[in-house]
Amino acid sequence: MKTKKLFLIVMVAMVFLVGCTSQTGNTKKTERKEKVTINIPTAATTGALYPLGSSIANLWTTQLDYIKASAQASNGGIDNLNLLQSGEAQVSMAVTSVMHESFKGEGTFTGRPNDKLRVIAGLYYNPNQVVVRKESGIDGLQDIAGKSFASGAPGSTTEVETKLHLQEAGVNYPDGLKAQFVGFTEAIDLMRNKQLDGAWIMAGLPTAAVTEMTTTADGKLISIDEDVIAKLQEKYPWYAKFTIPAGTYDGQDQDITTTAIKMALFTTADLSEEVVYDLTKAFWENIETLKTSNNALKNIKVEEAISDLAGLPLHDGAIKYYKEIGVVK
């Protein structure tokens, strides 16, 4: 009897232990991270940022089961930074110049510093592209004086670039020209209808808007004078001299000299280190897939992810990943 009782006690104990082990195992298997929603404003649908943002959102949503990311059109970098600061966006893209101003509370962001702004990755150089109708008589920035010219949506990065460059070229902006504060899409239609002499485009190569203007609106690219570039570099060290190679667009048979600024993927310090680590890792481990549908990324290298960022801070989650792969020592 004692032996039988002992056997029963042992069997009950084993069943209890197996049950606990099974429950523990199931808990580990079914454990899920808390869902994180990420809103990614981009730029106009005809620029390079909109398809890039959509690709990144799709990548993060499919690769990370706790992430729900979506991209939307916006007015570009300045708008994106304002949306980040107000909490309406969690990740976005802009050139380092306006990111620097947002972080410091300067320029357009005077009195509104965003010390929570953090970089995930430097992406590619974003060149300024000045497109004019061939019959407009515009061959340099000085010739834009008095002309009907699209400087970009109000408060956009493109409008800021137009202002800085035209002022350095001696054009009184905006009073010295017939400024049209419209985005890429509207500018294309206005040029087609000959209601516009030219437009300022800032986006990665090749840009759909520039392709449209050069193929359907009798447009051509013009170079920026070397002295204007030199003056800008003296004042704003984030500017780089950049060449748009001949053949980038239909009918472009010469290299075009212009300026460019690094485009960067940014976020807020409010996102946790773990989340941003996952986002950064997924981005770089799938970069070849992103390149297939985003020409702007074709020359991007992870080794250059932290260069030319105008002194802006990286997110701790991004730093963790870059340390793992040896980009950060």
DSSP, residue by residue, 127-177? EEEEEEEGGG---SGGGGTTSEEE--STT-HHHHHHHHHHHHTT--TTTTT
Q: Name every residue whose Cβ is closer than 8 Å to that of residue 17 and which is 6 or more positions away in sequence.
A: none
Which pLDDT score, from 0 to 100, does residue 102 have?
96
What pLDDT digit, counting tens, does each position of 239-279 carry? 889 999 999 999 999 999 999 999 999 999 999 999 999 99
- R_g (Cα) of the chain, nearest Å: 26
Phi, psi of 72 (to 5 degrees): -135, 155
pLDDT higher than 70, residue 18: no
* Rounded average pLDDT over 21-37: 57
Given a contact cutoff of 8 angstroms between Cβ atoms, the answer to whether 305 and 122 are in contact is yes
pLDDT band at 20 (very low <50, low <70, confident <90, very high): very low
Give first-to-last CA distance, the chain, whole Å.
70
Which pLDDT score, from 0 to 100, does residue 19 have?
46
What pLDDT digit, counting tens, does each position of 40-82 carry? 999 988 878 999 999 999 999 999 999 999 999 999 999 999 9
Nearest to 197 by CA among 127, 245, 144, 266: 144
User: Which pTM value belongs to this model?
Assistant: 0.71
Q: Domains of the chain (ranges plus CATH)?
A: 36-125+263-324 (3.40.190.10), 127-261 (3.40.190.10)
pLDDT higher than 50, residue 232: yes
15 compared with 178, residue with greater pLDDT: 178
What pLDDT digit, counting tens, does each position of 273-305 carry? 999 999 999 999 999 999 999 988 988 999 999
265 compared with 157, residue with greater pLDDT: 265
Which pLDDT score, from 0 to 100, does residue 238 have?
86
SS3 call for 23: helix
> Which stretch of 21-25, 74-78, 179-183, 304-308 has the lowest confidence by average pLDDT?
21-25
pLDDT band at 105 (very low <50, low <70, confident <90, very high): very high
pLDDT higher than 60, residue 114: yes
Q: Which residue type, as a one-letter code, is found at position 72?
A: Q
Which pLDDT score, from 0 to 100, does residue 32 have?
65
C-alpha distances (whole Å) from 5 to each of 13, 19, 118, 121, 220 are 12, 21, 66, 67, 95
pLDDT higher than 70, residue 2: no
